[in-house]
Structure 1
Amino acid sequence: MERSRIAVAGASGLIGSALVRSLTADGHEVVRLVRRAPRGPGEVRWDPARQSVDAAGLIGCDAVVNLAGAGIGDRRWTPEYKRLLRESRVLGTATLAEAAAALPEPPRVFVGGSAIGFYGDTGDRAVDESAAPGDGFLPGLCVEWEEAAEPVREAGIRTVFARTGLVVARGGGAWGRLFPLFRAGLGGRLGDGRQYWSYIALHDEVAAIRHLIETEGLSGPFNLTAPEPLTNREVTAAMGRVLHRPTPFPVPAPVLRAALGELAGDVLGSQRVVPRRLLESGFRFAFPGIDEAIRAAG
């Protein structure tokens, strides 16, 4: 890919910061969208809650990538936090999509963040991008999240949705909480451990997003998950194996429900999601297996 100018919202998050490092290391110009006063020419002010963005800062961008959104697992899902989860994704996406579509020279591609929460609890059934959305708060949120990008689709801009799974990384997300527990010998399966987890190494997550940016002709939803989802019991065993720690402490489902509230339903739920379209597009995983994904996370 030739040197490009790429705008990234959510550039300070786990995935966004890794994406920015990867792009800048290869010589691309990255424009970071920030909620404070910009500190230099590489930053652009925006306020997704008020649906405002300094659109002039997006001029000349070849791609716009929106990875912004409040953390799904950061707090209990009170009505107020569910509203924040929705607004930070839906209003942010709509703000960027409308601004990109209105530019005199629109970007070539718009990559919108999304999640495998789109599918809800799939049990033992493997699902790909052709599956319908599930039921519940997260599937409904993901549907609205993706629909908010309608302005760029209508403008003829290539629009891609990165439906991300559980990212294996030390620096944040669900796995960022697991690593300290397992290193301390306190890790264990969640509930009965039979629920499927669809994971992806952080390195592969970033490489997949770049693949979606750089590969002409790709549009619509893409599952960003490793090729073979595993059960929580299998993931737990792999964590113990790679980190050389015992995994003796299962967390019963009632305890999770008491601690996490409504979020426990998604922790205990099963999502057996496969990246059919990503593989068909020619993408190759560097760390497809769980052991290697854990090792890559350090």
Structure 2
Amino acid sequence: MHILLTGGTGFIGCELVKHLTGHKITVCTRSPKRAREKLRHADFSNINYISTLSTLSDLNNIDAVINLAGEPIVQKRWSNAQKDKICSSRWQLTQQIVDLIKASSSPPSCLISGSAVGIYGNKKNQHVYENTPTASHGFPYLVCKKWEDIANEAESSQTRVCILRTGIVIGNGGALKTMLLPFKIGIGGKLGNGEQYMPWIHIQDEARAIAYLLKNSKASGIFNLTAPHPVTNKVFSQALAQGLNRPCIFSSPKWLMKLVMGESSQLVFDSVRAKPKHLTEIGFIFTFSHLEPALKQVLHHGLD
């Protein structure tokens, strides 16, 4: 299979390419030179690199597209300029892909495109499935809603579309790397009252799930890419502290997090008790269903 991959050098993309070694991959990246270096761990002469989609007039020679590209949403405060960058990096590239699919006489059979559980908004203790109503406002909702809408334009009798509503990805990098520092120095703890649910997924299961959707010709629609057992922030914090043999006695008040993070603090205080109903219904089996073994595996292998 010939796969076009965007976001291949990102946190998820770097893991995913290890699960696609039997396929020919074209990675679209702003810096092919840097991408070759970053993906050398998984490049068995099966990866080609291009710097832009603009050189393509169609995707007739592509069997599937995996679209994971996008400006990180949590690393910087949401200034108007940063919001524009977050939106345009997702919307414009996805629109380019959709336009190329529509221009193809023999289009890819599958488009797998990113999104996030932030689209649901704050659901408190409610179980959140793929058919749960989304939010109706808020920046995460606005980003994901249009991102999904654009991707769904590619759906046809020849092309199925899978939308990945991903939670917090646990692995050697990403959100967990940011969370670790206060715990390592002994001042970690819950955020606010800690009762907000954190939908999480191990990086290996994230990549395995994407590869599973790729090969399952019946799979289409929305998929929550989250482990079957979401936990509250308090439980997550306690498990992380225990895994590091550190205390978990502090808490960060909501007002302080809002002061530090600004509007983006809603990402850590919105409660999304997401369940991967569609993924498990089509037969996917998680390697890491529970948080403690997932954290143990990641911490055992070490974080940079």
SS in 2 for 1:152: coil
SS in 2 for 1:17: helix
Distance 1:272 1:45 in 2: 38
Distance 1:201 1:150 in 2: 26
Query: Partner of 2:131 in structure 1?
Result: 130
CA deviations on 1:234-279 (whole Å, 9 max, x unpaired) are 0011111222111222111111000000011221111111111111
Query: Partner of 1:164 in structure 2?
Result: 166
Question: Does the 8 Å CA contact 2:198/2:272 hold for their aligned counterparts?
Answer: yes
CA deviations on 1:125-151 (whole Å, 9 max, x unpaired) are 111000122031111211100111244
Distance 1:252 1:158 in 2: 44
Distance 2:89 2:262 in 1: 21
1:45 is aligned to 2:40: no
SS in 1 for 2:189: coil
Query: Partner of 1:29 in structure 2?
Result: 24
Query: Partner of 1:219 in structure 2?
Result: 220
Query: Partner of 2:198 in structure 1?
Result: 197
Distance 1:110 1:248 in 2: 45
Shift of 1:178: 1.2
Shift of 1:107: 1.1
Distance 2:32 2:240 in 1: 42
Gapped regions of structure 2 (runs ≥ 5): 37-46, 300-304
Q: Using the TM superposition, name which of 276-285 and 241-250 deviates more.
A: 241-250
Aligned CA distance change for structure 1 residues 103 and 296 (closer, same or farther; 3 Å): farther
Over the aligned positions, Cα root-mean-square deviation in angstroms equals 1.8
The alignment's TM-score, normalised by the length of structure 1, stands at 0.91
Query: Partner of 2:5 in structure 1?
Result: 8
Aligned CA distance change for structure 1 residues 37 and 19 (closer, same or farther; 3 Å): closer
Shift of 1:205: 0.4
The alignment's TM-score, normalised by the length of structure 2, stands at 0.89
Shift of 1:228: 1.3
Distance 1:14 1:56 in 2: 29
CA deviations on 1:93-139 (whole Å, 9 max, x unpaired) are 11111112322321111000010011011111111000122031111
Aligned CA distance change for structure 1 residues 45 and 155 (closer, same or farther; 3 Å): farther
Gapped regions of structure 1 (runs ≥ 5): 47-51
Query: Partner of 2:150 in structure 1?
Result: 148
Give the partner amino acid of 2:87. R
Question: Does the 8 Å CA contact 1:198/1:229 hold for their aligned counterparts?
Answer: yes
Aligned CA distance change for structure 1 residues 240 and 36 (closer, same or farther; 3 Å): closer
* Aligned counterpart in structure 1 of residue 16 of structure 2, from 14, 19, 31: 19
Question: Does the 8 Å CA contact 2:170/2:201 hold for their aligned counterparts?
Answer: yes
Q: Using the TM superposition, name which of 154-163 and 130-139 deviates more.
A: 154-163
Query: Following superposition of structure 1 onto structure 2, how do residues 252-267 of structure 1 map, counting pairs within 5 Å?
Result: 252-267=253-268
How many residues of Structure 1 are paired with residues of Structure 2 in the alignment? Answer: 287
Question: Does the 8 Å CA contact 1:101/1:155 hold for their aligned counterparts?
Answer: no
CA deviations on 1:7-48 (whole Å, 9 max, x unpaired) are 110011000111012212xx22111001246799701222xx
SS in 2 for 1:250: strand
Question: Does the 8 Å CA contact 2:118/2:140 hold for their aligned counterparts?
Answer: yes
Question: Does the 8 Å CA contact 1:98/1:151 hold for their aligned counterparts?
Answer: no
Query: Partner of 2:117 in structure 1?
Result: 116
Query: Partner of 1:80 in structure 2?
Result: 81
Distance 2:209 2:184 in 1: 29
* Identity between Structure 1 and Structure 2 (%): 34
SS in 1 for 2:106: coil
Shift of 1:181: 2.9
Question: Does the 8 Å CA contact 2:116/2:164 hold for their aligned counterparts?
Answer: yes
SS in 1 for 2:51: strand
SS in 1 for 2:194: coil
Question: Does the 8 Å CA contact 1:170/1:179 hold for their aligned counterparts?
Answer: no
Shift of 1:155: 6.4
SS in 2 for 1:105: coil
SS in 2 for 1:279: helix
Distance 2:89 2:72 in 1: 10
